[in-house]
A and B are shown apart, each in its own frame.
Chain A
Amino acid sequence: MTTTIKDFDVKEKIQWCPGCGNYGLITALKGAIADLGLLQHETVITSGIGCSSKLPHYVDTYGFESIHGRSLPVASAIKLANTKLNVIAVGGDGDGYGIGVQHFVHIMRRNYNLTYVVHDNQIYGLTTGQASPTSLLGMKTKTTPWGVIEQPFRPLAVAINGGATFVARGYAGDPVHLKELFKEAIQHKGFAFVDVFQPCVTFNKINTYPWFQERIYKLEGHNVEDKWAALKKAYEDEETDYKKVPIGVFYKVNRPTYEEQLPQIKEKALVDQKIGEVDLSGAYKELK
């Protein structure tokens, strides 16, 4: 069984705003999945709620559209229940860095073998334009009429500090580069995190395609195993007053995954274990 990018198309029309960064992102993601030869039925994409989180409906694999901020816990459990599946969690910046940030912080400690893609458009889109955790200082939105006065959330720095074993940033305006990032992320054994700049053409009038084109550059010659170098790169945008915004793999190391440390699922995934045959006589004896 082989797959092509066409296999992942759905008959329903994709309904994001014309020009939305999500189009670049989904093309790159489907391309990566197809290039890696992942099978449709062995792949599960989970999402939260938001524009980004409509993605599972537009890729013909198994999918689970959960509730706002909960893409990661659902994805985690799917992986724990069936380690053979390719699990990709997606969500937005509000979804993952706002309402669901506790899951982001803790999943990195666990290092499940799954991929997390954040559609980072620095704004709340589906709720029509409120400030998000990654909205830049001074940005005027419906909820910050006088400009953002909260320090933006730093997803990459948080991920590097938090124990993620693969940390990358991509740009939806460069789907070719993004596809390669996704491929590397999916192939990484452990928790792979990709923050994707994905311009919201309707509500974010600051971080537009031209804004990114002027600032983005691809990391080269960067030592991905050096945590301090990675952190430095993660702060480069802020430190250069957003004159230089690097994309690419920031950090990549190996650590045992959570699930491979569980002897009870070493031989067989949970869902493949026969149920109804557990012998409780030992447990009863212990209670006597």
Chain B
Amino acid sequence: MANTKKFSDRKKDERAAAYIFTTPAMILLVAFLVVPMIYTVYYSVFKYQVMRPDDIAFVGMDNYAKLFKDMDFWQSLKNTFYFTVIVVPVQCVLALALALLVSKRFRGVSIFRTMYFSPQLTSMVVISVLWTVLYNSNPNTGLINSILVGLGMQPINFLTNAKTAMNAIIFMSAWQGAGYQMMIFLAGLQGIPTEQYEASAVDGATKWQQFWNITLPNLKGTIKYVVMITMIQAMKLFTQPYVMTQGGPRNATKTMVYYIYTQGFQKGNFGYACSVAAVFFVIVVAMSLILQRITNAE
């Protein structure tokens, strides 16, 4: 009797400690995430021009009705999905490949690790500006086009052609982002017991068989995590189109977040921007849940 009481007391203490330790994070979370989210939903049912906060009018579901008829909204949603669907596998495979390359222990491996990781240390804005110049359509200024022309090919309007602009952004985003995922994969790879490889080598397994039957299954948790964060990050794509293409050409790179920004800040349609943000939030949460379901089911 006395023992169980003590036990439950200790449990209570632990619980109290847990609350105390999580309080700072919780306060921040509530202040900067939960409250703004509630406000977003609240303002999404108002006509609210940001420059006239005294003239807010309740409009019910008008903003949502308008949104479903808004071609720019659907286009932005489509672009965001396209970006996500392409960039997530590309970036994850690239990251895994890089991680496998640098997981070996050899002289100078850290230099490679640092090199692959270094784009992560540079601001996305800086990288976007750099790539805008690299992609420039004029072979006299754009490095990539000057190489193409040097090889006897036609220059490509990477960022000013609706067909290539998003792919150009996908390529540079995957290049920029892969380093971070590589680091996580690297940690995962180092956690795989070497005995498994040794044992399989004794049994005569090829490198390829080892990869499929030892590396991948052991990385399952890491892969889940990496895919999830890459997807959420991809859905939030903003900086690259903002700096490089301003959503163009022909809306080809206009993403959800960029659309929310132009509506809310550039044009001052705050209420409408909030309704877009609210719908977008639901979509991201739904996608995360679906992805979790899929990966858990496996």
A complexed with B = no
Enumerate chain B interface residues (CB-CB to A < 8 A).
none
